[in-house]
Chains A and B, each alone.
Chain A
Amino acid sequence: MHSKKSNLNQYIINAIFIVISILFVIPILYIVSISLTSERDILEYGYKLLPTNVTANAYKYVFNNPWQIINSYGVSIFITVFGTLLSLFLSTMLAYTMSRKDYRYSRITSFVVFFTLLFNGGLVPTYILIVNYLHLKNTIWALILPYTINAWYVILLKGFLSTIPLALVEAARIDGASEVGTFFKIVIPLSKPALAAVGLLICFTYWNDWWLSLLYIDKTQIMPLQYLLYRIMANVDFLSRQAASSIGVNVKEIPTESLRMAMCVIAAGPMLILFPFFQRYFVKGITVGSVKG
């Protein structure tokens, strides 16, 4: 593809990207480094990119009284797993009916889905609907149901499903299969890669979401991780209260600065480490999806 390349250009470009990469990673390194620094070092030297003396003190505090973070992990995992399965299943069925050109109502269904991308009622009516009419405030469903059908993902899936030849569906019908049977036995097995790509996008939507909890949750029992992190950042007392609730802890001794960052590492770290393994699927879902379903 590129036969003769000037080496000098390559060196310059590599150098530029190495600088950019370092700049991109530094903010995250700070979080990790602060979480491993003792409170005394922070007060004396400020936040450092590399800790002068490494200490796991902040992590000890988290693990001494871990119920809040375990609880939030539980909430996040539940909404991600359950939400993704529900959303993927309903979205795929909906997208499949839109992709079937022989289906009498496929055009109108597509329009109903598509129109929501152009126009929406906005925050206030949605909020009032969910809080005053559906009574979902402070329930786990408020964190799942509003995202169950995302028009973008449906259209993305429709694009993938449209590539399945109609002849296969017709062959199944001649063999006496029902629509639902065809869907499960033929359509789903054929579209596994697409389902994996879109499923992963949905997964991240749920896992990274703070918006729904910001609106609808104020009970600590159903705080997902992202919202817990927001509360800790917005309100230092929240963190001290959590830590002090374990017996025999002096509030003044709590290493708030490093503890806050340790919570961030524990809450966000595992997913970040998994990211490179998922990246390939994301790239696939995103490059197709951004252009047109």
Chain B
Amino acid sequence: MISYKKASKEFKKNKGLFFMSLPGLVFIIIFAYIPMVGLIIAFKDYTYDKGIFLSKWIGFENFKFFFTSDAALRVTRNTILLNLLFIIAGTIIAIICALMLYELNRRAVKLYQTILFFPFFISWVVASYAAYALMNYEFGGINSFLTNIGSQPIEWYLQYKYWIVILFIAYIWKNVGYFCLLYYTGLLDIDPVYFEAAKIDGASKWQQVWRVSLPLISPLVIMLVLLNIGKIFYADFGLFYFLPKNSGALFKVTDVIDTYVYRSLKTTGDIGMASAVGFYQSIMGFILVMISNFIVKRFDKDKSLF
């Protein structure tokens, strides 16, 4: 009774703020927490008429189905390896861009930054128009170029072997400006005293980069890389769905967990399969975020997520 009274008194004191937070919390509960409960669908034979709770439990049937198919290995491999490629090569390219920008005056930086940055604000749908303009078989820019120099035109949308490179270029085009901006801001935060000291000691430009710039932005680099590793089970759906134009011939390279779940749900209507893959993604994603955050924490307590 006493604790109840205490709690109710406490609530009265805080109720103004509590009611202010309530609408936002309701949204979070509906759109984030209730779907977590819905993860149990993965263990059920879901039918629309019976709904989530009345559908029959079937244990691990859905998972058996997924993990014994070729798809499991294919989509996991594509998701993880392409994300790794994006993270590693993308980080290196962004750092090089930032280091080069740092050498230029502010006006030039502003111009280049705007150009590098604008694709970040273009949707993948619009980007797929640009990709199509370049890669269309009959009329596309790249094939015109190839025929002009006497080569054979290429069926870009049917040959999967080119797509790792195509996806990579598209990823860089869209994201390098964003990461470059973050690293450039990091470089600006370095106290100029370090560079002055290095110069007095006779350090060359290269030595300054290797001994001053890179070591001092490395905490930022490590943090961003680990944050992205934490998201490695999630692919950028728009990149993998719109650019290859859903071409089945390319799935060997372009099919990732997210596009697979989407197709199972919307095209083939296989909810059991879709929910099993989704469950697998949620759990693996959670484990990886926890691991990467644990590592960030060991490097720099302030920079970890929690």
Which of A14, A100, A290 sits near B182, CB closer than 8 Å? Answer: A290
* Binding-face segment, A23-31, A67-75, A189-197, A246-254: A23-31
Chain B contact patch, size range: 35 or more
Q: A123-154: which have CB < 8 Å to B?
A: 123-129, 132-134, 145-146, 148-149, 151, 154
A91-B24 CB under 8 A given contacts A30-B141, A124-B271, A234-B245? yes
A174 partner residues in chain B, CB cutoff 8 A: none
* Binding-face segment, B33-41, B63-71, B75-83: B33-41
A47-B136 CB under 8 A given contacts A94-B21, A116-B28, A121-B38? yes
**In the assembly, what is the distance between CA of A48 and CA of B136, in Å?**
12
Which of A31, A264, A286 sits near B178, CB closer than 8 Å? Answer: A286
B104 partner residues in chain A, CB cutoff 8 A: 10, 13-14, 17
Q: Is the CB of B116 within 8 A of A20?
A: yes
In the complex, per-residue mask of A182-219: 1 if CB is within 8 Å of any chain B CB, else 0: 01000000000000000000001000111100010000
Whether, in the assembled complex, B73 has its beta carbon less than 8 Å from a beta carbon of chain A, the answer is: no
Which of B10, B30, B141 sits near A49, CB closer than 8 Å? Answer: B141
**In the assembly, what is the distance between CA of A96 and CA of B16, in Å?**
12
Q: A238-281: which have CB < 8 Å to B?
A: 257, 260-261, 264, 267-268, 271-272, 275-276, 279
A10 partner residues in chain B, CB cutoff 8 A: 103-104
Whether, in the assembled complex, A171 has its beta carbon less than 8 Å from a beta carbon of chain B, the answer is: no
Q: A39-54: which have CB < 8 Å to B?
A: 42-43, 45-49
A6 partner residues in chain B, CB cutoff 8 A: 205
Q: Is the CB of B130 within 8 A of A154?
A: no
Q: Is the CB of B27 within 8 A of A90?
A: yes
Instruction: Give me 9 other A-B pairs in contact (C-beta within 8 A), A119-B286, A132-B48 excluded.
Output: A30-B134, A43-B139, A104-B10, A116-B28, A178-B16, A180-B20, A268-B122, A275-B121, A276-B114
Which 9 pairs of residues, A with B, have the shortest CB-CB distance?
A125-B38, A121-B35, A179-B16, A94-B24, A27-B130, A122-B278, A30-B133, A125-B35, A46-B139
Q: What are 25 A-to-B residue pairs whose CB atoms are below 8 Å?
A: A1-B195, A16-B100, A21-B116, A24-B118, A27-B173, A30-B141, A42-B139, A97-B20, A104-B10, A118-B286, A121-B35, A121-B39, A121-B278, A124-B275, A125-B38, A125-B275, A127-B265, A208-B122, A229-B125, A230-B125, A257-B139, A271-B121, A287-B185, A291-B182, A291-B303
